[in-house]
Amino acid sequence: MNSLDNAYRKLLTKVLTRGVDKTDRTGTGTISIFGASIRHNMSEGFPILTTKKVAFNTMVTELKWFLRGDTNIKYLQDNNCKIWDGDYEKSGRTDGELGPIYGKQWRDINGIDQLENLITGIISNPDSRRHLVDSWNVEDLDKMTLPPCHYSFQCYVADGKLSLMWNQRSADLFLGVPFNISSYGLLLLLLCKETRLEPGELIGNFGDVHLYKNHLEQAKEQISRDGYDLPEVKLSCYDIYRGDFDVELINYKSHPAIKAPLSN
């Protein structure tokens, strides 16, 4: 089994065996632990789980949306990405807007383009400890349909390699985290293209790590599966600032998808 699937299965097992009952805003109920990490060496392949099929194209669409600084659901719906539909419907809004969420904070936080500053900083001062993008803008939280679950990421340069670590306050382990892993893995590769560095490590830090109670049997099924070798990706025609790029997932072999309801 590849080390990424193995680490993820261990985390599923830990939550199933040690998780405590917690209520949550959706009313579904969870079992939860506090504090966990996953590390992946990008030289081992693209970080996408193989113990179940991950909707790669949906993840790509959402990342493009973030990078564009877009906060309107129309782009997602036009590209058959439905993962924000539930939160939008629950908000009661009718203008298509989700509020100043990820894309707004990445590209225009009080007039500052954090993505541009990040790339400029990595190139001009690679040893800086300030290669950071923050989505947790306190003054905007009450305007957001959903406050950021993955609220910041930091980059690090050493030996000609670029690593990325993201921080996540709330980790929906069965449905959300697989998307987050692949999304930040793809973001890391895009940043490497811009900075002409090789990809190093991808690290995810999680606060409240939970399984919704209607995901428990699905998690057990995934734990029972052995993983395959990780695939590669090919990036072309990329413009990170416009959220415009072509990406091909090569040799992705996985077990079938496991359906589970999304709690909003």
Q: Tokens for 5? A: 């699937």
DSSP 28: S
Using the predicted structure, report yes or no on whether residue 105 has a pLDDT greater than 90.
yes
Average the pLDDT over 4-14 and give the result: 98
Cβ neighbours of residue 177 closer than 8 Å, sequence gap 6 or more: 8, 168, 171, 204, 206
Cβ neighbours of residue 63 closer than 8 Å, sequence gap 6 or more: 183, 186, 187, 243
Q: Which residues pair with 156 in a beta bridge?
A: 163
The CATH topology of domain 33-209+222-250 is Thymidylate Synthase; Chain A (3.30.572)
Q: Which residues pair with 167 in a beta bridge?
A: 152, 205
Average the pLDDT over 237-264 and give the result: 95
Distance CA 108, CA 4 (A): 33
Catalytic member of 81, 149, 155, 192: 149
Digit-coded pLDDT (tens) for 152-174: 999 999 999 999 999 999 999 99
The percentage of the chain sitting over the pLDDT mark of 90, rounded to a whole number, equals 98
Give CA angle at 61 (161, 206), nearest 5°.
55
Q: Which pLDDT belongs to residue 52?
A: 98
Question: Which strand ranges, in their side-by-side order, compose the sheet holding 150-158?
Answer: 20-22, 30-41, 198-212, 161-172, 150-158, 132-134
Residue type, 139: E
Q: Which pLDDT belongs to residue 112?
A: 98
Digit-coded pLDDT (tens) for 112-155: 999 999 999 999 999 999 999 999 999 999 999 999 999 999 99
Q: Which pLDDT belongs to residue 255?
A: 98
Using the predicted structure, report yes or no on whether residue 11 has a pLDDT greater than 90.
yes
Instruction: Give the residue extent of every domain in the chain.
Output: 33-209+222-250
> Would you call 149 a catalytic residue per the annotation?
yes
